[in-house]
Chains A and B, each alone.
Chain A
Amino acid sequence: MTNDSIKDKTLGEVMRSQGVSRRSFLKFCAATASMMAMSPAMIPKIAHALESARRPSVIWLSFQECTGCTESLTRAHTATLESLIFDYISLDYHHTLQAASGHAAEEARKAAMDENWGKYILVVDGSIPTLDMGYSTIAGISNLDMFIQTAAGAAVIISVGTCAAYGGIPHAYPNPTGAYSVYDIIKQYGKDQLDGISSATLAKVGKGSVANTPIISVPGCPPIPVVITGVLTHYLTFGTIPELDHLGRPKVFYGQSIHDRCYRRPFYDKGLFAETFDDEGAKKGWCLYKLGCKGPTTYNACATTKWNNGTSWPIEAGHPCLGCSEPDFWDGGGFYKALSMPTENITQTAIYTAAGAVAAGVALGAMNKSKKNDAVSAHSETTINDLEK
């Protein structure tokens, strides 16, 4: 996929040589600014930065995943404009999208790594198993080995999807494969806590180099397509990683909760809730909190970016938010349990506890009964000490 003729040109030069006018480019930048939730005042800056950006190499590794993230990305709704970026990046390895397979594919990855060592963007989707290296392999290489080898030469790692960002569904209880997120793997590698890495990989890769690679997490199951491209665009535009939150997510997309940006929020504030999926409240578009909406604890851009060409999004379609861009969303006690509800069966706990406590109380009372009877027969006086009881 490498194209030598445009490799050393800037994006501005490439576009002008393809007959793209500056006006079209401004349009592209306006769309980009809007997509990245940036102030429209940033448009001239984006234009200037992108015009002088150089073509980066991208290696995309897929581990324990369902390909949903790639499916999402290839449906990015500003396709025409993103194609500008995607034509421009050099996607050197992506085993679902690339034409090459087998040894040729692995050779392409190695060639891209050698050629761009320290400069390429590594995109990862899927979590990495650590219990048994045989659980997930590509071309006979374990996920862990391939990840560590490739991460060593990356300028930045982008964890696409909840599995790569937090471990996701493979990481859900009881986590049979010992799946970890990209961030956890890097951290454990830095602390020398990982078993199963081949000696060849260890010999090749220094520990420190991997531990310091910046990681951008783009969680979601799947992530919003324009959020994936937005992060790539940001990196291309500014050559820096965007401002990240405490979970490594870009604040432009994950800075506000679904609840805060939800158009149904006024109903929550008024206390108007849909009780079931087909009651009057549901038909009137009232708040879905009682149906288990995780919007209040979920940070993502769905409420403003929406899905499918900006058509709609889960809550607009009448379904509560599942919280798919948060860690462990799969283990939250059920998608249809409201956030204020306990996740365990508290009724049962309460009944058992009450029964046990009553039995204990009765036993204690019985033991005391004879003492009281003795007091009556002995005609003993009630003293101040009795009142202390």
Chain B
Amino acid sequence: MSEIEFLNWVRGPGFQIAIIIFIAGVIIRFAEILLLGRNKNLAEAKGSEMSSGLRTIVTRSIPDKETFRRSTFTLVAGYIFHIGLFVTIFLFAPHILMFKDIIGFGWPALPTPVVDAMAVVTIIALLAVLVHRMRDPVLKFLSTREDYLVWLVTIAPLITGYMAFHRIGTTAPTLLAIHILSVELLLIILPFTKLMHAFTIALSRWYGGAISGYRGVES
């Protein structure tokens, strides 16, 4: 297989396979959560589920002082790499072209040097959270193999993307193909791991808030 054949495969059939697994995976996971559900709570409600649930979706984005003091690093690094991922995935011109090709519309991009800098910051933040995870005894104890896998498939597209943009290591077609392949790996793994939180975050926050609302306590 020549490098251009490899590139054509990841842009074509490879991408198709990844999209099928990704979409089917996400929908089935949602069906599992929404339709299988839990048994009906027969206890009497002491407050509103809906308003507490909706409020929690927003309030959980802002850490309270005590949480911030205890987990400053996790919160700051976490915010940085999440924003960084958003910028590099959704505001880089070639990526927007890809979305436009699939969903039919696009949006303005950030200047390439900004995205480039953001990618570096994101990579550093992700490396830092890994070091933190491995050095903190409690975090290390709690970490499973899945946590490391999830970290790897998240940082891989960033590193391969950075290398493809700056042409580091090998030829451009191979670098681009490896980058796309790493994204496909991410798409395939996402629905079946913790990465699913990208889709379920609102839902799970709502659920947490709703439980508290039902019990009439603050969430």
Flag whether A317 is at the interface (Cβ < 8 A). no
Contacts of B24 in A (CB 8 A): 353-354, 356-357, 360
What CA separation (Å) do A323 and B171 show in the bound complex?
A: 14
Is A259 touching B172 in the complex (CB atoms < 8 A)? yes
Closest chain B residue to A342 by CB distance? B15
Flag whether A349 is at the interface (Cβ < 8 A). yes
Is A376 touching B27 in the complex (CB atoms < 8 A)? no
Flag whether A174 is at the interface (Cβ < 8 A). no
Flag whether B127 is at the interface (Cβ < 8 A). no
Q: How many A-B residue pairs have CB under 8 A?
A: 156
B residues 51-105 near A (Cβ < 8 Å) are 93-95, 97-98, 101-104
A296-B176, A349-B19, A350-B23 in contact; A290/B97 too (CB < 8 A)? yes
Flag whether B193 is at the interface (Cβ < 8 A). no
Flag whether B37 is at the interface (Cβ < 8 A). yes
What CA separation (Å) do A361 and B93 show in the bound complex?
A: 35
Is A365 touching B35 in the complex (CB atoms < 8 A)? yes
Contacts of A350 in B (CB 8 A): 19, 23, 102
A residues 342-389 near B (Cβ < 8 Å) are 342-344, 346-347, 349-350, 353-354, 356-358, 360-362, 364-365, 368, 372, 375-376, 379-380, 382, 386-387, 389
Is B11 touching A342 in the complex (CB atoms < 8 A)? yes
Flag whether B7 is at the interface (Cβ < 8 A). yes
Flag whether A39 is at the interface (Cβ < 8 A). no
Closest chain B residue to A358 by CB distance? B27
Flag whether B112 is at the interface (Cβ < 8 A). yes
Chain B 10-37: CB-based contact to A (< 8 A → 1; otherwise 0): 0111011001100110011011101111
A residues 245-295 near B (Cβ < 8 Å) are 245-247, 257, 259-260, 268-271, 273, 289-290
Q: Which secondary structure dominates chain B's binding surface?
A: helix
Flag whether B185 is at the interface (Cβ < 8 A). no
Contacts of A190 in B (CB 8 A): none
Chain B 36-52: CB-based contact to A (< 8 A → 1; otherwise 0): 11111110000000000
Flag whether A230 is at the interface (Cβ < 8 A). no
How large, as a class, is the contact surface on chain B? 35 or more
Q: A271's contact among B3, B8, B93, by CB below 8 Å, is which?
A: B93
Is A333 touching B8 in the complex (CB atoms < 8 A)? yes
Q: A341's contact among B30, B32, B101, by CB below 8 Å, is which?
A: B101
Chain B 168-184: CB-based contact to A (< 8 A → 1; otherwise 0): 00011100100000000
Q: Which secondary structure dominates chain A's binding surface?
A: helix
Is B97 touching A341 in the complex (CB atoms < 8 A)? yes
Closest chain B residue to A273 by CB distance? B93
What CA separation (Å) do A337 and B103 show in the bound complex?
A: 15
Contacts of A357 in B (CB 8 A): 23-24, 27-28, 31
Contacts of B104 in A (CB 8 A): 347
Is B8 touching A331 in the complex (CB atoms < 8 A)? yes
Contacts of B19 in A (CB 8 A): 346, 349-350, 353
Chain A 316-347: CB-based contact to B (< 8 A → 1; otherwise 0): 00000001001111011100011111111011
Q: Which of A299, A340, A380 has the most CB of B within 10 A?
A: A340
Contacts of A364 in B (CB 8 A): 31-32, 35-36
Chain B 91-129: CB-based contact to A (< 8 A → 1; otherwise 0): 001110110011110000111110000000000000000
Is B113 touching A269 in the complex (CB atoms < 8 A)? yes
* Given A342-B16, A344-B12, 15 new contacts (CB under 8 A): A326-B4, A327-B3, A328-B8, A332-B8, A339-B176, A341-B101, A342-B11, A342-B101, A364-B35, A364-B36, A365-B35, A368-B37, A372-B39, A386-B38, A387-B38
19 A-B contact pairs sorted by A residue (CB < 8 Å) = A245-B171, A246-B171, A271-B110, A299-B171, A299-B172, A333-B11, A338-B97, A338-B98, A340-B97, A343-B11, A346-B16, A346-B101, A357-B23, A357-B27, A361-B31, A372-B37, A382-B39, A386-B38, A389-B38
Q: Which residues of B contact A (CB under 8 A)?
A: 2-5, 7-8, 11-13, 15-16, 19-20, 23-24, 27-28, 30-32, 34-42, 93-95, 97-98, 101-104, 109-113, 167, 171-173, 176
Q: Which residues of A contact B (CB under 8 A)?
A: 166, 245-247, 257, 259-260, 268-271, 273, 289-290, 296-297, 299, 323, 326-329, 331-333, 337-344, 346-347, 349-350, 353-354, 356-358, 360-362, 364-365, 368, 372, 375-376, 379-380, 382, 386-387, 389
